[in-house]
């Protein structure tokens, strides 16, 4: 198990605003992931990282960007939010020795 935190938990924001979703962990895990999940739908990997200064795009095309300057933090940024970005965003960390991923509580984003 590992502690993983996401903030904010809920966010309602207007179109065109820049937003950053925070994800942090305390156990020094190298592998971190961002998923997007619409209600009742599957998880789509949008970004991942396997260490500081390493980030990759996932399978789902996304207008968001990520950074990994420190091991503990993996923030996701939307430069200009649109209603199509309305979704739940889940951050996960990968176990050091297995493929198990532990998920944060998620951020539910609504763009008006």
Partner 1 sequence: EDKVVQSPLSLVVHEGDTVTLNCSYEVTNFRSLLWYKQEKKAPTFLFMLTSSGIEKKSGRLSSILDKKELFSILNITATQTGDSAVYLCAAVINTNAGKSTFGDGTTLTVKP
**Residues found near partner 1 in the complex (CB under 8 A):** 31, 33, 35, 40-45, 48-50, 56, 58-59, 90, 94, 98-106
Min dist. Cβ of residue 81 to partner 1 (A): 22
The whole-angstrom distance between residue 43's C-alpha and the CA centroid of its chain comes to 12
For partner 1, the closer of residues 17 and 102 by Cβ is 102
Q: Which of 84, 90, 108, 87 minimizes the C-alpha distance to 15?
A: 84
Whether the CB-CB separation of 111 and 94 falls below 8 Å is answered with no
For partner 1, the closer of residues 80 and 110 by Cβ is 110
Min dist. Cβ of residue 82 to partner 1 (A): 24
Close Cβ partners of 16 (under 8 Å, ≥ 6 residues apart) = 80, 81, 82
For partner 1, the closer of residues 17 and 37 by Cβ is 37
């Amino acid at each position: 198990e590992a502690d993983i935190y996401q903030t904010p938990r809920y966010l309602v924001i207007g179109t065109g605003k820049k937003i950053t979703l925070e994800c942090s962990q305390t156990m020094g895990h190298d592998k971190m992931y961002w998923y997007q999940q619409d209600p009742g739908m599957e998880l789509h990997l949008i970004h991942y990282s396997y260490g500081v200064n390493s980030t990759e795009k996932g399978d789902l095309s996304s207008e968001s960007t990520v950074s990994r300057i420190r091991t503990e933090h993996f923030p996701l940024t939307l430069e200009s939010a649109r209603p199509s970005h309305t979704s739940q965003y889940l951050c996960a960390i990968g176990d050091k020795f297995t493929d198990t991923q532990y998920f944060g509580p998620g951020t539910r984003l609504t763009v008006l």
